[in-house]
Structures are given as C-alpha cells and as structure tokens.
Structure 1
Amino acid sequence: MEDNKLASGYCFRNNRDFLEIARGANLVLIRRSADSAALRDCIENPEKYLSASTVLKDSRSTKAGIAELADHSPVFIKRYNNKGLRYTLRYMFRNAKPFRTWQAAWYFEMNKIPTPKPLAASASRTAGILKSAYLVTESVPGTIPTLDFCRLMFESRKIQLEYAEAVGDLFSKMHKAGIYHGDSKLSNIYVSRRGKGAFSFGLWDLDGVDIRPKAICENLRASEIARTISSYIEISGRLGERADMEKAICLFTDSYSSASGTRLDMDSIRKKTRKYLKLK
C-alpha cells in the first residue's frame, strides 16, 4: 500500500488521502483528514487570510505567513507570485509550484522525514496562463527562530553534536529515497522544543526539491552537505563565533557517514563549501 501511495500522481487524485476539486482551469487539492469548512474557506479566499497573517516572508517570488482559520487552527499559507514572462512561459506546461511542493511534502511524509503536512493547494489559470497559486500547510508548534537556536548551539558542544546527528539522519533518509532538497541552509532545517533541553528537527521550504527514481548521487549529496556546512559557518560568523571550516566539515560529514553508511569525498566537500562561502 505504501508503494501505491508513492506512485506518480497519487497525491493529485481523489482517493482516501486527498480530494481534488476542479472547476474549469482552477484546481484545488485538499487533504481529506484536514478537510473542514474553515480550511476550504482559506484555500478559496487565500488573500483574506494572508493579509491578516503574521508575515514571515514577502519577496518578489513569494509571500508567506502564519494565519488563523475560522476554527482558530493556525496554518502556514504561501502565495507564489508570477515574476514575469519567463515565469509565465515556464509554468504554462508544468505543474504550478504549490503542486510540486505538495508532492514533495507527500514524498517526505511517506519516507518518514519530518516536514509540515500539506493541507490544501490551489492554482488558477486563464488560457493556460497561471494567474494565482497558493499552498497551505500545518503550522509546526514550538519552532525556535534559526538565530536563537544557533546561539544556543554554538555555546554547547552537546547541542552541536545532536544537531549534526539529526541533520545526518534526515539527509541520509532523504537521499536514499531519491530526494534532493536543493536549499539545505540552516533556516530550512527547523528546530522545535520537545521538552526541557530536548529538540526535534525537520525540513521545510520544499520549493526546490528534486525527486529522482534512484538514490541521490554522491556529487549531489556532497553539494547538499556543503550547503549546510557553509550556512553553519556563515551564521557562526554573524554571531561572532567564527566556526572553524575543517571542524565544521568533519562534524557534519561524520554524522552523515554514520547515518548513511557511506563516505563522501572530503576534498569535494571542501571545494563546494568554499564555493558556497565564496572563498578562493
């Protein structure tokens, strides 16, 4: 049954997990277990909720925030902006971004990789041109802002090891399942409190995820790890900690190797890390 759920297109069809509502060129997807009048009102009138949300990001490409539904449930809502002609042409014959992220989140869930569950998504087209696109996911409770967690982490070797171990485990599962995140900076690895001194970890912002039929190749694995290491080093510098690059590389590659049972090319990791940091 799990294999059927991972079949291409499963999360876009009417079945026991999802509900598809098509009205002409407009398409709405809803997670059946979350279906409610409040959620439907949100995905049918997303701007009403987005305008009243606590905005987390407002850029040329997206606007996102935490909103409260009519039943007082908190959700994360994101609007994907049309950035111009190139964007219009690119998505005339491709799934709209929220649907691509919807599928990525379902793959994460089926492979037991923590990520916010997708609740609803919509896209509206006119003459094939994408006019609007929205994604609604669950809101993860107790998340710690990235810089706040990093301050704690850089003061504790124990937390550094716990974090690296969690990242190694997440990435190992992801790569084994043929999933490449594509933007594995620290702000996309969320941390939430699980109790006194305990944390849980997961991945979000899946817009750049690439799903492949086989396990991710060594070169892309190295790129993913190097992106995380470079982000770790960059944030340490912002916080006045100045993490040693070689020690940071060992911290994350050792944890990844332990979780995945594979050894990555250390020279490749160093080269990619320096490239991300724009070092010569």
Structure 2
Amino acid sequence: MTLDALTLASTLQTAGRHPALPFRVALADGRPLDMHRLLRVLPGKRLVGEAELEGRRVLAKLFVGRRSEKHWRQERAGLEALVLAGVPTPTLLVATPMAGGGHALLTDFLEPAESLAECWARVAGRAAGDTEALSLLEPALTLVGRLHAAGLVQDDLHLGNFLLHDGRLWVIDGDAVRVVSRPQRLPMADACANLAVLLAQLPGEWEGQLAALLPAYQAGAGEVSPDLADLHEQIARVRAWRLRDFLAKTVRDCTLFAVEQSVTRFCAVLRQDAEALAPLLAAPDRAISAGRPLKDGGTCTVASVLIDERMLLIKRYNLKGLRHALGRLWRPSRAWHSWREGHRLQFLGIPTPAPLALLEERCGPLRRRAWLVCEYCPGPNLLAHLSPEHAPPAAEARAILHLFESMHRQRISHGDLKATNLLWDAGRVLLIDLDGVIQHRLPVAHARAWQRDRARLLRNWPAASVLRRWLDDHLPAA
C-alpha cells in the first residue's frame, strides 16, 4: 500500500483489529503522519504504533472513537502531570486534532526499550525474594512511591506500563494517570489501594516478601508506608477482581481471545493462535482421525495432532446416549469447565498445559458435543516416572511441593488426583484432566476436598512404600 492517499479517522474507526499498513493521516496543521507499525489496537477507539513525522520517528497514539477528545485530553494531562512530578516519561512532542476527525498525540519513540513485563517474564519462575527479580521490581516501586508523593495515581498500574530504556525506568500511558491530591501527598488509603494493584500481579508467594519490597516504595514516597495488614487485604481484593475479570474475558471477544457464536456452535480461541487453529476448529473430528490416538473411551476421545510443526492435544467430550445427552443440554460442557479452569490455573501460576481453544456444538442455548485444544505435554506421568521404593529426586520433590502448596494456598481441589493426572515436564509437575477442578470460597469446603484429593493421591502407591510415606510427610496436612 502506498502513502499517497490520506486515511480518515472514520476509516480507522471501522477498520477492526488489523488496519492495512502503512497508512497516512493528516494533522490539523496539514502535516502528514505516516504510521508504519501498530503496537496496540483498541478497535474503533485507539491505535498506538511507530510512526514518522517530518522524518522523525515517533510513538503515535491516534484517538478515533466517539469520545476521542476526552481520552486525548486525559492522555495529555497525564503526561504533563508526570513531568511536573519528576517521573520519567517520554517527551510529549505533539498533541493536536487530526484533519477529518480524531486526535493525535505524539511522543519520543524510545528504542531500544523493553517493558518491565518482558523483563519480569525471564525471572517470574524464580523463588520469591530472588535477588535479580527483586532488583527489577524495586525501581518500579520507587516510581509508584514518587507518583503517590505527588498526589497522583496510575489507574492501570501493571508491569507493561513501565519501560526500561537507556538504563532507566520510564512510566507510560498518561491516559491512566489521575490527579487526586496534588501538590499534597496521596491519602494513605488511596496509596495502599493503588500499590496493591501492582503487587497483586506478582505470584502469590511474593506476598510473603512485602517487607523486602516496601523499602523501595518508601524511597519514592518519602519514608511513609501503608500498614501491612491493610496492604494484604487490598492485595487479596485486587487478586479476586483480576481473576474474575480475566475469566470473563476467556469467553468473550477481546484482545486476548477471539470468540465466535452462532445458533449451532460456540468457539473461543487464543487470538494469537486463531489463524493457525482455524482448519482444526473447522473440522475437529477430521483432525482427531488424522492424529495419534491417546484415548478412545465412552465419554471422551483424545488424540495428539501436529499443527504447523507444533504438537497439540485435542479432546472430544462425547455423549454416550440419549439420557447422557439430555443431562448435558443445559449445563456448561466439561470442555467449557476445563477451558475455564485451565485458564484459572495459568493465571494463578499453577502449572498446566496451556488451553488454546474451546468448541461446543450448540442448538440455540442447548449444548451437545464439545472439544478442547491444549498444548501437548510429552512428559511421563508420576505413576510411571517415580519409583515407589525411593523418595522423589530433588527436582521432582521441589516441583511436587510447589504444585500442591500453590493449589492449597489458592484453595483449589482437583477431584480426581490420580498420579496419571500429574505429568513431569521440564522441571515442573503439570496438572491435567481439569473436569473436576474447583476453587473453593470457604476454607471448610476446601479442607474436605483436599482431604479427598490427598487420600486419592496417596492411594497410587503401596501403603508401606517409601514414596507414599514421603508424600504423607511433606504434603500439606489434611
């Protein structure tokens, strides 16, 4: 595509998630802005990407929705507030309406740059309190403290809104910066609630490291710090909200998931995998027939399939007969439940093969057969991998304890904890067959379910075996 013709805001508003690139828009003063690469698209509302203005490389945010002016003004005001507070943020170059509608905001393009989320991904699996992981978090906590000392909050506080560039951490996304009490310090209740939004995104084990994390926050906030009990309470509240919000997204069309629904079928797939999985989802039974069969039972059929040199697992939940079919009509399918719980476990950092797609046959609101597509794990199950006559090797022991401590902390039960539902793979123990997984609200309900899970796991090995005794001694108590 050439850049001869100008693109209007109205065209971008209806272009969906993948506007054709490159394109050119005109600023209010007539200067052309050439967009070369998109970094983020909120369909019908906003486009963010790498652009060029008069030969200069810039980060361009184009506000094209019905409320474009409001969000454009918020973004500009937020960036200006960050500058006044002495918080590093990319320099604002241009904030102007566009010719033909919409608004543009241009800042310096920081390169090379890496988001703190990308940095964190490399160390996220390390033990809570790890020195390198702590050194990544501390500058971000100090910047949050400086925001609060200036009477500001960042309403979309996550690791992706911090950029590491030229050895320095920068805050981005001025649209989410809100002035609460400038020039006075943020009230402690507001500061605690805002800080909890960031801390709640760390693995649960890090909550025991608050005492090590707070000095970095105090360095920016001026030696003031929220009460630890209040902070723990706010973190729990934010974690619960984030989980509910994420699970709702798994079955609706959004940035992360592509969802299609008709009278005859419902399909949800990770958006990044939608194109690759489209042929499989169009004919899942054909894919199963062409794959390697792993199980062919009355209630489910399982096969591994190769898609674009990537091994996947597809599981079809069958209907055994008329009575079984009638019993499943009104209830969410077992595939639906496994899809939801797989994403719950992944969100909580509990190892399980990544769920990639869910497909249900529908007749209006009534459900029939269903399919679930996941990553394939080639590792052996624990029944085959571990010897009853020995305690597990050190790596396996750590992984087993990490899995069950994480599940116990989150009040999660499995419902069918056979050793064949636990796979050893790349230093982790993965939980599979999630049809009966439940996250319990009440401790007493979880205690009963864990007692059953624990007993079922121990029954995999003889009562007098070394492995069973080791598990009985080291698993969370019933």
TM-score range, shorter chain: 0.7 to 0.9
Structure of higher CA gyration radius? 2
Question: Which whole-Å deviations, capped at 9, do the CAs of 1:57-92 have from their partners, x for residues lacking one?
Answer: 1100000011012x2221100110012234323322
Partner AA of 1:188 in structure 2 = N
Paired with 1:5 and 1:14, the residues of 2 have a C-alpha distance of 17
The Cα shift of 1:26 comes to: 1.0
TM-score (norm 1): 0.76
Match for residue 210 of structure 1? 438
Out of 263, 275, 279, the position equivalent to 1:41 is 279
Q: Would the aligned equivalents of 2:269 and 2:358 in 1 still touch at CA under 8 Å?
A: yes
TM-superposed CA distance for 1:50, in Å, is: 0.2
Letter in 2 for 1:105: G
- Could you say if the C-alpha distance between residues 94 and 9 of structure 1 is closer, same or farther in structure 2, counting changes exceeding 3 Å? farther
Report 1:139-218 matches (<5 A). Answer: 139-140=376-377, 142-144=378-380, 146=382, 148-150=384-386, 153-154=387-388, 156-159=390-393, 162-192=395-425, 194=426, 199-215=427-443, 217-218=446-447
| Counterpart selection for 1:101 from 323, 333, 338 | 338
User: Equivalences for 1:227-242 in 2 at 5 Å?
Assistant: 227-233=456-462
Cα deviation, residue 175, structure 1:
2.9
Is 1:32 matched up with 2:252? no
Mapped to 2, the partners of 1:43 and 1:180 lie a distance apart of 30
Matched, 1:67 2:305: yes
Partner of 2:126: none
- Give SS of 2:475's match: helix
Q: Is the 8 A contact 2:259 2:266 kept in 1?
A: yes
The verdict on how the C-alpha distance between 1:210 and 1:157 changes in structure 2, with shifts beyond 3 A counting, is closer
> In the alignment, which of 240, 245, 248 is matched to residue 9 of structure 1?
248
1:65 corresponds to which letter in structure 2?
A: A
Contact 1:181 1:224 in 2 (8 A): yes
User: CA distance change for structure 1 residues 86 and 163 in 2, over 3 Å: closer, same or farther?
Assistant: farther
Aligned position for 1:256: 475
Against the structure 1 CA distance between its residues 158 and 128, is the aligned structure 2 distance closer, same or farther, given a 3 Å change threshold? closer
Q: Look up the match of 1:272.
A: none
User: Higher RCO, 1 or 2 (CA under 8 Å, sep at least 6)?
Assistant: 1
Residue-by-residue CA offset, 1:99-149 (whole Å, 9 max, x unaligned): 110000011001100101111111012255433210101112x41255541
Which aligned pairs between 1:46-61 and structure 2 lie closer than 5 A?
Answer: 46-61=284-299
Cα distance in 2 between the residues matched to 1:178 and 1:24: 37
Task: Give, in whole Å, the separation in 1 of the partners of 2:441 and 2:264.
Answer: 30
Q: Which amino acid aligns with 1:189?
A: L
Secondary structure of 2:330's match?
coil
Pairing 1:112–2:112 present: no
1:134-179 CA-partner distances (Å, limit 9, x unpaired): 0101112x412555413xx3464352x6545433321221132232
Name the SS for the 1:90 alignment partner. Answer: helix
Structure 2 equivalent of residue 122 of structure 1: 359
- Paired with 2:469 and 2:448, the residues of 1 have a C-alpha distance of 17
Structure 1 residues 110, 170: CA separation in 2 closer, same or farther (over 3 Å shift)? same
Change in CA separation of 1:127 and 1:223 when aligned onto 2, cut-off 3 Å: same
Normalising by structure 2, we get a TM-score of 0.46
Can you give the 5+ residue segments of structure 2 that lack an aligned partner in the other structure? 1-196, 202-238
- Give the corresponding residue for 1:244: 464
Whole-Å Cα distance in 1 between the matches of residues 344 and 320 of structure 2? 27
Going from structure 1 to structure 2, the CA distance change for 1:211 and 1:158 (only over 3 Å counts) comes to closer
Tell me if structure 1 keeps the 8 A contact 2:342–2:355: yes
Deviations, residues 182-230 of structure 1 (Å, cap 9, x unaligned) = 11111000012x3xxxx42111111121232345532221211111110
Query: What displacement does 1:21 show?
Result: 0.6
> Aligned to 1:77, what secondary structure does the other structure show?
strand
Counterpart-to-counterpart distance in 2, 1:31 and 1:5: 18
How far apart, CA to CA, are the structure 2 residues paired with 1:136 and 1:101? 10
Q: Contact between 2:266 and 2:359, CA under 8 Å: does it hold in 1? A: yes
Contact residue 329 and residue 368 of structure 2 kept, 8 A: no
Contact 1:178 1:213 in 2 (8 A): yes
**Matched positions, count:** 238
Distance 1:147 1:225, change over 3 A: closer
Q: Which residue type is aligned with residue 143 of structure 1?
A: G
Confirm or deny: 8 A CA contact 2:352 2:432 kept in the other structure.
yes
Q: 1:157 & 1:178 partners in 2: Cα distance? A: 26
Residues 225, 252 of structure 1: 8 Å contact kept? no
Q: Secondary structure at the match of 1:232?
A: coil
Q: Is the 8 A contact 1:43 1:136 kept in 2?
A: no
How far, CA to CA, are the matches of 1:254 and 1:147 in structure 2? Answer: 19
